[in-house]
Structure 1
Amino acid sequence: MLKGVATRHVFWGLYVTLMALQVMLAMHTSLFGDEAFYWLESLFIQWSYGEIPGFVPWLNALSTAVLPQHPFFLRLPYLLVCWSLPWLSYGLVKHLSQCQQAAWQAALLTLLVPLIGLIGVLAIADIWLIFFTLLALFFLLRLMQSPKRIDAVYLGITLMLAVNVHIRFWFVLFVAFIAATVIYQQYFWKQKVLWQFTLPLVFLGFVPILIFNVQHDFTLLGFQLGERNPWQFQPSHLWFFLGQFIITTPLVFGLCLISLKRPVDDDATKRKALLFIQLLAVLYWLLYAILGFFSDNLRTNIHWPIPAYLLLLLVAATYYQRHVPLKKWAVVTGGFAHVLFLIGFYLLLHNIPVTSNNHKQLINNAIGWQQVTAKTRELQQPGQVIIGDYFMTAAVLNYQRNEQTLIAALPHPMNQKHGRRQQLALMNLLYQDTPEKPALLVVEHTALKLHQQIPFYQNSCRQLNGLRLIDDLSIRQGSKIYYFFYTNAHSCDIPPIIYHDYQQGIHSGWVMVSKDINTQLNHVTITGKSTPVSSVQSLPLGQDHLFSTVNAAHYQRLGYQVEANDHLQLSVQTADKTITTQRFYR
């Protein structure tokens, strides 16, 4: 399998298969919320942005200007970069080993990390971080072997762009500097072209970030280095280590570990290059393994060390004749896992019913956008202003509608959590006014946690001069729930607020609803059948802090119990309307 022509055949078979699956995903999957927001930012060209440097929005602005508006075309530059990674690995190992067979093996091993296929589909920063890491490594190794001005300039341009992709690339620079100092020692410091050409270009890359942060009270740095990180010890990060073993697949992970063995080579230049790659990979991996105990625990970070694995696979490929049985099985298991992962993710997005909170959280940011847009168009009155509840709703509605007038978002906990509040304000898309005429407000209720729901609706009522609930929309059997309101109602409709618990086959909890003797709770099955909940008890609001600002004369709690081994979705039926609520999973 890993000899001569066979390696190339296996590579091309796996490469084309993965490309086809990625194209299918990119064409048929709606934008994830973050992708949509980066697109929205691209409509406002700035030096940098409130939560991310400028590269991704700049690239989106360019691609949007020359390509049709469709998720596939927005993602196309990211796909092309993903598809270039095997060839970049090929060039790196060919440079290191001067062996074409080793180069083909490097190209093949690059395809064995399953998450790369998904990362490459999405119009987000991650695939560019991997690309620029490998490209910078290529030019640096050439520079260390034979100092030339052109390589120093190429390295400088690469780093100048890369520091504007994401703040995480700054960590790559940091650990690469340490690794180069340790491995190359004085030889590294004596490279005049590095300091004369590369370093000034790197500094030039930081200029847009510096200008933006000086102008806006260091918003980007404050969010990335402060607000998003608790900076206190988190034992939950221990799952990260098991996660790395799983996402790389066990045999590929084992191959990476074996690649840490100190290289023995008569060629001193090659030996130092491999030592540098190994140390860079180890330092980069350890950085996230250690910082993860103290940093951001609200977002997925399991994919951040992927460049480290690719670097170690390059070392493995350089010695292409070693560990051949392990490599064969790593190719089988890693390649198979990569293909299955992309197929499985597509099915989770488009075909398989949502049956768990994990499934819901995995796909929620990419489902339901067409339905929400259609419902919004249906409910919008001629000339009526539309307001989104938070950045993701506003961004996706703007992308789907593609109209001249942009939709703004209200102050919302999710804006703060994701560092988008300041950026919305800079784009004049943070809605802080009171509309003169009734506007249409679109709220993703399931984006709010229980303790956030009542304050959000009450604050919105105060700001928008009252809210009147006019409709709801259930996405994927209640996985997501949207509520639609008209503003300027001079009264405040708070939709059902639900607490839910599941123990030993019994769903129980309470629903906060307005006082109405005709209120009835119904259990909605996965097929849409609705049956009354028989065990319902009227309860006072009580002294819980959740209800401290709620008028007890207008609202009540309805306690419920439903014996069912299935999931639970309730609807609240009153004299004049029926309101659907989210589905709770066992």
Structure 2
Amino acid sequence: MQSEPAATRARRLFWALFIVVLGIKIAVAMRLPLFVDEAFYWQEGQHLAAAYSDLPGLTAWMARLGVAIGGQHLIALRMPFLLTAALVPLLIVRMTHRTFGEADAWTAGSFALLLPLAGSLGLLAVPDAMMALATLLCMDAGACLLRKVDAGHALELAAGLALGALSHYRFIAVIGVGFLALLAMPEGRRVLKDARVLIAIALGAAAWTPLVWWNYDNADAGLRFQLVDRHPWAFHASGLWFIAIQALLVTPLLFVGLLGAGRDALRSPLIAARYFAMLGLMVVGGFFVLGFFADTERVSFHWPLPGFLALIPLLPRFIAAWPRWAQRATAALALIGLAGVLGYYVAVSLPAVRARAAAEKWYPANFAGWDDAADAVRDELRDMPPGTRVLADNFKLGAELGFALHDPRIAVLDHPLNRKHGRAPQLHLWGLDEDPRALLANGPVLLVVGASEVEFKNLHHRYLELCRMVGPLPAPRVLNVDHGRQRIALFRLMAPADGPCTAPAMAWIDAPTTGARVGASFEVKGWAFRQGVGLERVEATIDGRVVGTLRYGDDYAGLEGNWPGLVDPGAPKLGFSGRVDTAGIAPGRHWLGLRLHGRDGAVEAWPEVPIEVAR
């Protein structure tokens, strides 16, 4: 038996970690920009319903509760999720104490805080915090019921099953694994025969009713998206990366420790230990296998988290046999991993860091641009007639602008993103996918377009689609957030219009290439056009300052073939070239851009690319 001083030290360490981690999370959550999914869950919360196209209702209800109590602030939106996440390590302590004693319980709680994805739970208003809590409630109840069936723990099981059912479709995996684990043990089969447990399972199953009913009323749109549309269901070797990413996110030594603890506990004389091991290993292993067949386009690295949480109570006893240095290294690496995850969120919160990362693959696009867009919309609306409607071209902008402007009724155009993320059915149910020409017939409209939400190769086609939806596009106000990595165009549409399509300018810099080293003078060349209007001249900029006018009108063959539907009065002479002098510009990294002057007098800044000025 472990000594009391060891338990006391472990308890003090746990509470110190708990207070520090929670304090850091609250501080980060106050500054972290709105994440796009949070915005949509806020919007769902403003249209209260039992279930939605993408999720059951609980996440939206929690988002609504947060802003109803704390006001329209990011920290208020996230507070219910932060508080839910704070219960996770406490429940780990409770579960572990019952089976392994006090010292192991506090140690397991500390590792629950250090596990990077668990320690950062609640920073975002997303379903994962409640899913984690529901998983642990079911585990705790199951372990107690295996020892002795009683009404209290049957009620706890019902609560966990219900909270999970109201959180996410993905909780079905936890239910399935838990059922298999109970069936695999004689004691579990006895539990499943008890009337009190059967009533608890029935109550948990009833919690799926709103989601089942929603799918019944909407041709199974939510189920088809979650189980069919978003997954290729074909083998792809990138599942190996999924496993590697898990080892990195959990941190390597902790990853080995958790899986090793689960393997050893399968042979434990303690029934609760065997139960935890089966739950954890089957959840983690199941998602590892799924990684070879499932969606690779959207974030999925958090899926196995319930499995790793299930293994944490087994960890302290397993690593107790490790050398002291290995135990310390495991905790240290986990702490570094948690610091890395929290540090990422801190970096995302800093505009200067986001701007510098504009040319990097890890640029946090889903955290950037919404507040700049909201400020621009407010400015535009001040100069437009009263009653002007805001129209967003995709669900992301609609939800983000809705949060910023306190308006959950912003209409949204048809967009591939709406279907890709399973939000199109919900927008239709809310009546927000209105006919844009019908909107215009009732008064002016401010159209807000997320140009960077479309791959560059598809952008011209998207502009042509917008022309078909609303008519010729007037000269836009263009926002280039973070050097244009987030590019947003605003159009004042005063009345329905017809005619040839006019659209924002498009351009490409052939030379210098991104990240190229340039000297005191260098050549800039490429192509540019503006649909239906044409360009008068092209200027080069460095760090937003004009450094030279380029020769525009060079022959550039083949653009019409690459951009079907291209109509520019200057075609095919759409190339530009010229030399730029860097005199007076300090050596180092700078941003090269273009200023495109339309023949109608409109001026658009094109996204910038980084260059290295050398001497």
**Same fold? TM cut 0.5:** yes
Match of 1:297 in 2: 296
1:458 aligned residue: 464
Shift of 1:27: 0.8
Find the counterpart in structure 2 of residue 446 from structure 1: 452
State how 1:87-486 maps to structure 2 within 5 Å: 87-97=90-100, 99-184=101-186, 187-188=189-190, 190-193=192-195, 195-263=197-265, 268=269, 271-318=270-317, 321-323=320-322, 325=324, 326-350=326-350, 351-356=352-357, 362-380=363-381, 381=384, 382-403=386-407, 406-434=409-437, 435-436=440-441, 437-486=443-492
Answer yes or no: is 1:529 the counterpart of 2:529: no
TM-aligned CA deviation for residue 567 of structure 1 = 5.4
Secondary structure of 1:259's counterpart equals: helix
d(CA) in 2 for partners of 1:566, 1:538: 29
Structure 1 residues 190 and 334, CA, compared in 2 at 3 Å: closer, same or farther? closer
Tell me which residue corresponds to 1:497.
506
Q: Which residue of 1 aligns with 2:584?
A: none
1:509-537 C-alpha deviation (Å, 9 max, x unpaired): 54342477763333433x32233375763
Task: Supply the distance in 1 between the matched residues of 2:183 and 2:349 (Cα, whole angstroms).
Answer: 46
**Residue 581 (structure 1) shift:** 2.4
Query: Which amino acid is 1:547 matched to?
Result: W
179-188 or 462-471: which moved more? 179-188
Query: SS where residue 120 of structure 2 aligns?
Result: helix
Match of 1:580 among 581, 597, 605: 605
- Mapped to 2, the partners of 1:8 and 1:320 lie a distance apart of 18
State the alpha-carbon separation in 1 of the partners of residues 572 and 309 from structure 2. 57
CA distance in 2, matches of 1:442, 1:61: 26
Q: Helix, strand or coil: the match of 1:3? A: helix
Displacement of 1:234 in angstroms is: 2.2
Write the letter of the residue equivalent to 2:450.
E
Choose the corresponding residue for 1:43, options 46, 63, 78. Answer: 46
Name the structure, 1 or 2, with higher relative contact order (CA <8 Å, separation 6+): 1
- Of the structure 1 ranges 305-314 and 351-360, higher mean CA displacement relative to structure 2 is found in 351-360
What SS does the aligned partner of 2:264 have?
coil
Alpha-carbon distance in 1 for matches of 2:534, 2:95: 74
Question: Structure 1 CA distance, aligned partners of 2:205 and 2:211?
Answer: 10
Deviations for 1:77-104, whole angstroms, at most 9, x for unmatched residues?
110111111111100101112x111111
- For the residue of structure 2 that corresponds to 1:468, the secondary structure is coil
Query: What is the aligned counterpart of 2:15 among 12, 15, 26?
Result: 12
* Equivalent residue, structure 2, for 1:23: 26
What secondary structure sits across from 1:294 in the alignment?
coil
Give a deviation string over 1:85-134, Cα, whole Å, max 9, x none: 1111100101112x111111111111122233434200001121111111
Partner SS, residue 474 of structure 2: strand
Say if 1:474 and 1:264 are closer, same or farther in 2 by CA, change over 3 A: closer
Alpha carbons of 1:520 and 1:329: their partners in 2 closer, same or farther (altered >3 Å)?
Answer: same
From the superposition, tell whether residues 195 and 348 of structure 1 become closer, same or farther in structure 2 (CA, over 3 Å).
Answer: closer
Percent identity of the aligned residues?
24
Report how far residue 321 of structure 1 moved. Answer: 3.9
The alpha-carbon distance between structure 1 residues 387 and 92, as it changes in their structure 2 partners (threshold 3 A), is same
Q: CA deviation at 1:184?
A: 4.0
Asked if residue 3 in structure 1 is aligned to residue 14 in structure 2, the reply is: no
Q: Which residue matches 2:585?
A: none
Match for 1:448: what amino acid? V
Distance 1:560 1:414, change over 3 A: farther
Unaligned runs of 5+ in 1: none
Partners of 1:170 and 1:358 lie apart in 2 by 39
Shift of 1:291: 1.5
Query: 1:296 and 1:357, CA in 2 relative to 1: closer, same or farther beyond 3 A?
Result: farther
Structure 2: distance between partners of 1:199 and 1:500: 62
Q: Is the 8 A contact 1:96 1:318 kept in 2?
A: no
Contact 2:266 2:274 in 1 (8 A): no
Task: Assess if the C-alpha contact under 8 Å between 1:348 and 1:359 holds in 2.
Answer: no
**8 Å contact from structure 2 (residues 394, 412) kept in 1:** yes
- CA gap 1:21/1:186 in 2 versus in 1, 3 angstroms: closer
CA shift in 2, pair 1:205/1:535, >3 Å: same
| TM-align CA RMSD | 2.9
* Matches of 1:329 and 1:520, distance apart in 2: 61
Moved more, 511-520 or 434-443: 511-520
CA contact (8 A) 2:539 2:595 kept: yes
| CA distance 1:258–1:531, change in 2 (3 Å) | same
Residues 53 and 425, structure 2, Cα contact 8 Å, conserved in 1: yes
Give the superposition deviation at 1:319: 5.3
Give distance in 1, aligned partners of 2:39 and 2:491: 23
Contact persistence 2:64–2:77 (CA under 8 A): no
CA contact (8 A) 1:445 1:482 kept: yes
Counterpart AA for 1:298: E
Deviations 1:439-461 (A, max 9, x none): 11011111111243223222222
Instruction: Report the CA distance between 1:389 and its aligned residue.
Output: 1.0
How far has the Cα of 1:324 moved from its partner? 6.0
Shift of 1:194: 5.2
Q: TM-score normalized by structure 2?
A: 0.87
Are positions 1:69 and 2:80 aligned together? Answer: no
- 3-state SS in 1 of match to 2:476: strand
Structure 2 counterpart SS, 1:469: coil
Q: Is the 8 A contact 2:359 2:610 kept in 1?
A: no
Q: Distance in 2 between matches of 1:280 and 1:549?
A: 56
Counterpart-to-counterpart distance in 1, 2:547 and 2:120: 41
What amino acid maps onto 2:400 in structure 1? V
Paired residue type of 2:336: F
